Amino acid sequence: MKNSLKGAILSGLIFPGLGQLVFKQYMRGFALMVAVSASLLVIVVKGVQTALAILEKIESEGGIIDIDTLTNAVTQATSRSDSLIFNFAFFLISLCWIIGIIDAYKTGKKKDNQEYRSN
């Protein structure tokens, strides 16, 4: 398998930055991995906070769960700032994923060309 394809697959299908690590581009790989991991952590923490706020709202209204209670609790638990944080985190993950694929492909392509010239 060509290095360019291997790098793109590792960064695209497994985790951004993995293709860079395989090609010994450690700073790039770790930077992508840290950015994506931090964004995922923010999404999980905000999601748990929102879920807990919804549960508290439902509990304060008697603990009876119906569609109206749930809809009102979700509406009140989410705010515009939470949406901005989620959107930014998703944007950062998407951007890192795309950069990781393109960079790993280019790095692998250079390695393929070097191997071709040496043979």
Residue-wise pLDDT tens digits, 97-108: 999 999 999 999
Tokens of 67: 């569609």
User: Within 10 A of 35 (CB to CB), how many other CB atoms are there?
Assistant: 18
Residue identified by tokens 């043979």 is 119
Average pLDDT, integer, range 75-95? 82
What is the rounded distance in angstroms from the CA atom of residue 89 to the CA atom of residue 66? 31
Residue-wise pLDDT tens digits, 16-60: 999 999 999 999 999 999 999 999 999 999 888 888 887 887 778
Per DSSP, which regions of 1-119 are E strands?
A: none
**pLDDT of 76 higher than 90:** no
The whole-number pLDDT of residue 105 equals: 92
Report which of residues 72 and 55 the model is more confident about. 55
- Between CA 63 and CA 70, with CA 68 as vertex, the angle to 5 degrees is 55
pLDDT band per the 50, 70, 90 thresholds, residue 80: low
